[in-house]
Amino acid sequence: MRLYKSRSSYTTAPRPSRSADGTRYHARSRYKVAPLAKPEQARSGWRDSGELAKAKRGLPVFLTFCVVLGMVLPIFFGQVKRVMTPAGETIVHIQATRKGTAWSGRLAFRLNGAQQWTASMVPYEVIVRPGVYTLTVTGGGPPDARLVSVAPVGSQLGRAGETITFTAEFGAP
């Protein structure tokens, strides 16, 4: 006894073609198919997602650069200056000269006194407590020059509201 029919016993009705079937369902849909873009048309704007992603990633970096540049440029061009000495403090200014002309660059020095300071560039300015201060040059200076003296010689008394200036003088080797 057979419980199934053989393949040949099934009747086959003609099936509608896929294109006709697709058109029938497509006609019932609320959505429309967008027309294909022509390849010869140029794309403009931010339609390229890769370029948009690059611009979005670069924007915070660019803005940070602009902010830092805006803060640093006035310092480099000397537009930021101290208006007055803070009350109860002393300003110590360290500078260097080479054969009588002002020199700026690497000069390692130590400021000893009521407060200790170490730095490596001149001109240099620091706000300290009033007291007695001495400058010791430990290295550096203009190329092909030797340290002649540090003026004023010895210690300087810094009073509140005053400025002490130390000058390292360099001469020919």
Per-chain mean pLDDT for the chain: 78
pLDDT of residue 94: 92
Closest CA to 111 of 89, 141, 91, 82: 91
Q: Tell me, yes or no, if the pTM score tops 0.75.
A: no
Pairing of strands 163-171, 90-98: parallel
Q: Distance between CA atoms of 117 and 142, rounded to whole angstroms?
A: 22
Element (H, E) at 68: helix 49-76
> What is 80-99 written as a DSSP string?
----SPPTT-EEEEEEEEET
